[in-house]
Structure 1
């Protein structure tokens, strides 16, 4: 089964379940109001075989192409974010084993997941937040294994999960080499050794099992250790490169859902004798929101393939993806919220309150697996490499990077993930060459002005990054603003690469032109994007009821 057909099959099932089943909007709204996990929806996904896509094919699963997994989670998130987050958490809990676990542990875990086991990821503790090296949960060696003590807090699926990947201090002095990871089978522990904490009320994803685990002299076998002792920090940072990229699925699904609701409303609602969809301001709002969603998709499409093609650069791609995609999609959601007005926030008036739910649920995505600021700080730490070498025009750049947008993908080489990209980001360094190729393909000259403005802005940004000199302590506001500009350069480069990979087919080039207009509008102070382009995007969005996308499913190996 191809990537596209597997995603299509899941979407068809989700449509059936939405019409009369566990994904029915009224039922999901009821469970959300009661703060109850939608277990029937999660079970339906289990029965459909989705857990197998969290498992690499080498261990008997179906994870062949990471973009396919992200497209599937996007399809679920398009229906309900709570379900997507609850179900997809198993991949997050397992990925450390795929990165550093022994073959025996990985094969055992693979069988457990395929059979329906839920896995959670116990990294954080109350009082320490994202400062993982301050963690106090400890694991001490015993004659036949380890003894685990302490409390992990704010853990998704902590109570529901049968298995937990737990970060623990294995050296009293702590530090980068003072922590290890353990795969804990809760089913093998007596109740006196592991105690679930109460569910923590949350503003969004109200039904999710956000709780914690308290361990009391919990005995673990020697085989519970994941990788080498003291190497947890490296494993976690590499695993986060995959999980942060996967989080884009949640944002894209929420954006799909928001624009679907907004366009339905605009087509049906009449004011002053005509549909809202015909009003210029409404069309501009929809067009600009559509551009944001498509731009997020372009970044995600390239980043998910980079896991296979450029694993040594994932410290950059994952940070950009996690900082940029939730941010730009949240802007799109807020834009169409103004269009819906009060109906976007009333729970019993329009579409079972789906918009209000997705809007508050999506706000949490930005803090998952490292907040926006955390990821921008990761970019800032690599500024020296990211700015170096920009400016040379390489006409072969598009061909060299073509596997980032099309063609078969190699198996993910988890052992090639690195904490820092020694070569910077090949995509942004290739911008001059990509511009050269796109200009050759742009026979009508429609992109002339936006390409020129992007070229100048990208050069300025890289020059500023190369000139940046870090000071002691935390980076200042200027550095974070520069990181935000760099994200836009990556987003624009992703659009150029997609353009360079195909001839001008009218539709895709028009959509990508809108994305580039948005990028340049944000990179160049005072520049206003072409209103006609956004109007065209609005027209397209208003004729697509389910999924706004840059890609066609019949495109080679495309799951989008």
Structure 2
């Protein structure tokens, strides 16, 4: 069952969504495995098919890369995830790791890295979370100690997507002690800097995720992304763009699960007829469809607010991520329940979605954090 797109989308947006589905269907999945780590062949394929280029408009012009429409980013993530969640995640991580450069980087930083990321030839990573600074991102402790005209980074980052295999990291470090969010600076750190090491983390669902250690890693003024002590703003601006698109990823997974459940319930016979003869089944499908469409509408409304430059962007993005990720969890679980044990067999599409759907309720701000952002937006 393919639900219609949100009514606010233009004909050009709908044509773009169709192009995304066509390109996703052409990706080579024959070699895909459940192993964790960066799939560089997949990243390169995303670049060759123009899917990464859609994340970075104008990237072929080097330092003239401009910010993508949030609506288009959501369309990319929703319709790619309905076909291939591995590909969707690889695309999203390229965007998350690079967008601090697009939004706040220097011409030299963008020219060096963004065309290569858009082509799938370089892998980016966003390094914010630390062992003791997850949901409370302003509590960062990775120290940027002054050294000559630059700094040396000391500390750890963890749960970092694409680590330790990325080619460069956008790293958020504390340049002013005891200053909370006001004392954080963003740095561009190539992976070959001395003193930088890491190890992979193996998760419930296959995901390129790792832990990083910084042992006097040198960074210079030309590595600063944005302004000194204003890096937290760089991080939040990036997350404001990507939170609605996390919701779009969740909507795509919910849509795939709803399609699978509808097909199964229509064709599966029990108690003298198809499962859809049972009122409980029909009502479950109706609930799944309603929640999925409501999530979709919230996602594209939040994306449109971001594109309009509204001051409501932060809490509306939080609404979209919160509702869409919680909805996807419900819809995938309901689809598994309708399928029964077959959906839990290794290799079944729903078995993969069941493992994949859990993490978005945590990363880029857990559901509890999103509720706090929403409350603050409502009450101020």
- Taking structure 2 as the reference length, the TM-score comes to 0.89
8 A Cα contact 2:171 2:189, kept in partner = yes
- Paired with 1:40 and 1:115, the residues of 2 have a C-alpha distance of 12
- Equivalent residue number for residue 162 of structure 1: 167
Alignment RMSD, CA only? 2.3
Secondary structure (helix, strand or coil) at the match of 1:342 reads helix
- Equivalent residue number for residue 47 of structure 1: 48
Distance 1:63 1:179, change over 3 A: closer
- Equivalent residue number for residue 475 of structure 1: none
- Paired with 1:376 and 1:75, the residues of 2 have a C-alpha distance of 26
Equivalent of residue 355 in structure 2, options 360, 363, 367 = 360
8 A Cα contact 1:61 1:114, kept in partner = no
8 A Cα contact 2:248 2:324, kept in partner = no
- Paired with 2:66 and 2:173, the residues of 1 have a C-alpha distance of 30
- Paired with 1:179 and 1:73, the residues of 2 have a C-alpha distance of 30
- Equivalent residue number for residue 134 of structure 2: 129
Distance 1:131 1:234, change over 3 A: same
- After TM superposition, the structure 1 = structure 2 runs for residues 281-292 of structure 1, keeping only pairs within 5 Å, are 281-292=280-291
Encode CA deviations 1:522-549: one digit per residue, 9 max, x unaligned.
xxxxxxxxxxxxxxxxxxxxxxxxxxxx
- Taking structure 1 as the reference length, the TM-score comes to 0.61
Secondary structure (helix, strand or coil) at the match of 1:129 reads coil
Deviation at 1:111, TM superposition (A): 2.3
Secondary structure (helix, strand or coil) at the match of 2:82 reads helix
Distance 1:364 1:380, change over 3 A: same
- Paired with 2:326 and 2:196, the residues of 1 have a C-alpha distance of 37
Distance 1:62 1:238, change over 3 A: closer
Distance 1:74 1:132, change over 3 A: same
Query: Runs of 5+ in structure 1 lacking a partner?
Result: 386-560
- Paired with 1:62 and 1:179, the residues of 2 have a C-alpha distance of 25
Secondary structure (helix, strand or coil) at the match of 1:215 reads strand
- Paired with 2:97 and 2:345, the residues of 1 have a C-alpha distance of 35
- Paired with 2:22 and 2:227, the residues of 1 have a C-alpha distance of 43
- Paired with 1:266 and 1:335, the residues of 2 have a C-alpha distance of 12
Secondary structure (helix, strand or coil) at the match of 2:176 reads coil
Is 1:180 aligned to residue 185 of structure 2? yes
- Equivalent residue number for residue 377 of structure 2: 382
Is 1:272 aligned to residue 271 of structure 2? yes
8 A Cα contact 1:159 1:211, kept in partner = yes
Deviation at 1:252, TM superposition (A): 1.1
Query: Runs of 5+ in structure 2 lacking a partner?
Result: 1-10
Structure whose residues are more often strand by fraction:
2
Secondary structure (helix, strand or coil) at the match of 2:164 reads coil
- Equivalent residue number for residue 145 of structure 1: 150
- Paired with 2:222 and 2:50, the residues of 1 have a C-alpha distance of 28
Distance 1:2 1:330, change over 3 A: same
- After TM superposition, the structure 1 = structure 2 runs for residues 198-277 of structure 1, keeping only pairs within 5 Å, are 199-204=200-205, 206=206, 208-277=207-276
8 A Cα contact 1:285 1:336, kept in partner = no
8 A Cα contact 1:94 1:165, kept in partner = yes
- Paired with 1:337 and 1:251, the residues of 2 have a C-alpha distance of 16
- Paired with 1:174 and 1:271, the residues of 2 have a C-alpha distance of 64
Secondary structure (helix, strand or coil) at the match of 2:169 reads strand
Equivalent of residue 176 in structure 2, options 167, 171, 178 = 171
- After TM superposition, the structure 1 = structure 2 runs for residues 507-522 of structure 1, keeping only pairs within 5 Å, are none
- Paired with 1:62 and 1:228, the residues of 2 have a C-alpha distance of 19
- After TM superposition, the structure 1 = structure 2 runs for residues 389-468 of structure 1, keeping only pairs within 5 Å, are none
Deviation at 1:62, TM superposition (A): 7.5
- Equivalent residue number for residue 373 of structure 1: 368
- Paired with 1:142 and 1:265, the residues of 2 have a C-alpha distance of 63
Is 1:110 aligned to residue 114 of structure 2? yes
- Paired with 2:68 and 2:159, the residues of 1 have a C-alpha distance of 31
- Equivalent residue number for residue 491 of structure 1: none
- After TM superposition, the structure 1 = structure 2 runs for residues 4-15 of structure 1, keeping only pairs within 5 Å, are 4-15=14-25
- Paired with 1:36 and 1:118, the residues of 2 have a C-alpha distance of 12
- Paired with 1:37 and 1:13, the residues of 2 have a C-alpha distance of 20
8 A Cα contact 2:135 2:365, kept in partner = yes
